[in-house]
Structure 1
């Protein structure tokens, strides 16, 4: 007998096992969808974390490399290699639109008196596994910074030189508040021995430090070996051009080497033939083949370019020059004899404000600076490729505002360096690398 259609419907609806299976199947739809979203979001989160870690590494590397003297191109390439060495872009990703500026790895570098910064950034559209038509934009950036460290009075630039900074003989050096920095990786990059004495804020060396603890007083807990190198801080500054040589023929041979006497000296006045007591020869700025100063000399403010010859102050010279900068070009040398009396300070205006003696890059001639108790040399002595500066200060307890930069620096006499003298240096400083940190 046929069952009525209504009976079939009632039987289906009354079957509890069938209802459970159907309802379970229906309920699984949102559960599966939610699980898919969770999986996609989780995968995107992992990619974002990997991206951030790679950018952090790239930014930290970049600020260190840039701070140690690498060019922007060199720094960017190194940071890019580090980034892509730590992060593989997912195969199912797409670049962001060009206007977003994150379709490729980018690095922005900045340098100021307060800190160096490196900003690394990257972004892409991540296609999820389940929600393929709803890509996620993943973009991150990392900012690393290094604040300059303590100011340095000495910077020895040579990367491998034995004893690139040395206190020799019976020298007594006081650099309280200032640091000494050597870029050499030699085991004795900084050396203080014999009967020499040194007082300083701290010592920093890319290599080792050999000192007699009884002869060295440091304000820091201990000297820093294997520290970061300090790049040439003035590497990209341009020297003024040389011009035709200024004639010294009328300046008096007892006053200036090459002088003839009894003539018009440098356009500043007639000069007697003999070394007349009390007479002072005045020189004006310009380009000179050599300046061999023998008598009483007054230097007018400005730039004195020594073109291929030498700058010498003999033991009988008495030289005064305020607002003066000497530029040693085309292999010009520097020799200041121990008996010379001088009072020289730099100009506080222009591109080389705060610099008293500057040698161009490529000038490897050694330099000797000897002072006495009546002498004063103020400013930055910047001779970046000079093989060695031998410096003997004036021994005055008041100290001098002076900074020395060369490949190798040897201090041979009693010297006292002032720390707090920014006005005399036109606020130009040389700093050790400070701590590097992520700021974002």
Structure 2
């Protein structure tokens, strides 16, 4: 009886040992399965990160032909935001981005290292993982954007007014059925015309035919900091005769130039505070490397029909690339007027995030500018004016503000 009991006990012990030994490969297989699942998940996350980085970088492409624009910081920010949500460990993460296809596309590579839990015992090394994504743009930088998303005619042309923007994009963000308006004999001609809502006008009013129901383009300059506003260096300044050079500073109560006066602005930042900038009565107003900021009550501009304008934006500093900049806290839909029949040079960006740009002249405007970009709440053109929005970015050292991208980005599969 004792021998039989011992034999049964021995068999049980042997079975337990054999079962325990058989668990080892099963556990190894299960552990390897965990590693393979983890790597599959990480590959998907790397691909999602690469896609996000490529789209973000492509949207930030400011110029279709700019070869020295570094898109890597934008790609890194977007890719790392995706990877931060990862529940699996990944080390030695790298993100790189480069412009390809004649600067019309962005290629992003994201890589990292996974440390297996079980496979490392077998292979004695980590596993490198990588993903690549390419995003393209339609190749047209934005040169006019109406920010108003609700009302009719965020971009509005009437009478014989024209906008000529051959190599860039014009967009109305208005979702109104008539968010873009071309009335009478007006003509809007651009590389691409887009409206978030509908359009009003005939084929003769638009070249090419506008694309409707486009995605809204967020204010591309929303993060741009305004220049500092110091104490008043001038108060109720009026120049009504002669030739005068004005210096940068804060012009409280505004600035008026009239009666044939010839004013040259020295390079720098000008703040027009609590009053308008008015150029009228045959006066001339010119400056190179000049940025003008409008803030406070009634801080607008009016360039009268008989005035003469020649202005180009700074190449550096707080207003680099910005020619005219409205305070974001300004009264909504204040009117800023370009009526001049002698305004060949408006080189830079006109940024009126709350305001309405009103153009009513009988001659071409900005035709001698390497580029002119307009971002305004609304833009209205009347009369026989022809607002020419060139996009010859390579021919000037005045920078295009970041965020004014070549249209829409999409993943290239």
Could you say whether these structures have the same fold, taking a TM-score greater than 0.5 normalized by the shorter chain as the test? yes
| TM norm structure 1 | 0.66
What is the CA-CA distance between 1:282 and the residue it aligns to? 4.3
User: Does the 8 A contact of 2:365 with 2:388 survive in 1?
Assistant: no
Closer, same or farther in 2 for the Cα pair 1:143/1:407, shift >3 Å?
A: farther
CA separation in 2, counterparts of 1:138 and 1:191? 58
Q: Deviations over 1:130-169 (max 9, x none)?
A: x684477445344545455312220223444443222233
What is the CA-CA distance between 1:398 and the residue it aligns to? 8.4
CA separation in 2, counterparts of 1:229 and 1:368? 23
What root-mean-square deviation, in Å, do the aligned CA atoms of Structure 1 and Structure 2 show? 4.2
Which residues in structure 2 correspond to 1:55-66 (within 5 Å)?
55-64=46-55
Indicate yes or no: 2:216 matched with 1:216: no
What is the DSSP-based 3-state SS (H/G/I as helix, E as strand, rest coil) of the residue aligned with 1:431? Answer: coil
Closer, same or farther in 2 for the Cα pair 1:140/1:183, shift >3 Å?
A: farther
Closer, same or farther in 2 for the Cα pair 1:248/1:213, shift >3 Å?
A: closer
- Of residues 118-127 and 182-191 in structure 1, the stretch that sits farther from structure 2 once superposed is 118-127
Q: Deviations over 1:210-247 (max 9, x none)?
A: 442232122xx863642462541473344143233325
Indicate yes or no: 2:323 matched with 1:356: yes
Higher fraction of strand: 2
What is the DSSP-based 3-state SS (H/G/I as helix, E as strand, rest coil) of the residue aligned with 2:203? Answer: coil
Q: Which structure's CA Rg is the greater one? A: 1
Q: Which residue of the partner structure matches residue 191 of structure 1?
A: 181
Which residues in structure 2 correspond to 1:295-314 (within 5 Å)?
295=259, 296-302=261-267, 303-314=269-280
CA separation in 1, counterparts of 2:294 and 2:194? 29
What is the CA-CA distance between 1:418 and the residue it aligns to? 4.3
Q: Deviations over 1:308-359 (max 9, x none)?
A: 2211223x14123121322212355223254231222124432234432122
CA separation in 1, counterparts of 2:313 and 2:295? 19
CA separation in 2, counterparts of 1:209 and 1:434? 20
Structure 1: give runs of 5+ residues left out of the alignment.
Answer: 1-31, 90-94, 256-274
User: Does the 8 A contact of 2:347 with 2:366 survive in 1?
Assistant: no
Counterpart of 2:292 (choices 301, 323, 326) is 326
Structure 2: give runs of 5+ residues left out of the alignment.
Answer: 1-23, 61-73
Indicate yes or no: 2:246 matched with 1:283: yes
CA separation in 2, counterparts of 1:403 and 1:165? 14
User: Does the 8 A contact of 1:230 with 1:432 survive in 2?
Assistant: no
User: Does the 8 A contact of 2:256 with 2:278 survive in 1?
Assistant: yes
CA separation in 2, counterparts of 1:356 and 1:108? 34
| TM norm structure 2 | 0.70
Counterpart of 1:375 (choices 326, 337, 343) is 343
Q: Deviations over 1:24-69 (max 9, x none)?
A: xxxxxxxx98x99999777755543442223322432355467769
User: Does the 8 A contact of 1:67 with 1:433 survive in 2?
Assistant: no
Closer, same or farther in 2 for the Cα pair 1:348/1:385, shift >3 Å?
A: closer
CA separation in 1, counterparts of 2:410 and 2:339? 40
What is the DSSP-based 3-state SS (H/G/I as helix, E as strand, rest coil) of the residue aligned with 1:239? Answer: coil
What is the DSSP-based 3-state SS (H/G/I as helix, E as strand, rest coil) of the residue aligned with 2:367? Answer: coil
Q: Which residue of the partner structure matches residue 200 of structure 1?
A: 190
Q: Which has the higher contact order (CA 8 A, sep 6+)?
A: 2
User: Does the 8 A contact of 1:232 with 1:384 survive in 2?
Assistant: no
Indicate yes or no: 2:311 matched with 1:340: no
Closer, same or farther in 2 for the Cα pair 1:117/1:416, shift >3 Å?
A: same
Indicate yes or no: 2:159 matched with 1:169: yes
CA separation in 1, counterparts of 2:111 and 2:229? 41
CA separation in 2, counterparts of 1:107 and 1:360? 37
Q: Which residue of the partner structure matches residue 12 of structure 2?
A: none
Which residues in structure 2 correspond to 1:252-271 (within 5 Å)?
255=240
What is the DSSP-based 3-state SS (H/G/I as helix, E as strand, rest coil) of the residue aligned with 1:436? Answer: strand
CA separation in 2, counterparts of 1:42 and 1:201? 53
Closer, same or farther in 2 for the Cα pair 1:162/1:58, shift >3 Å?
A: farther
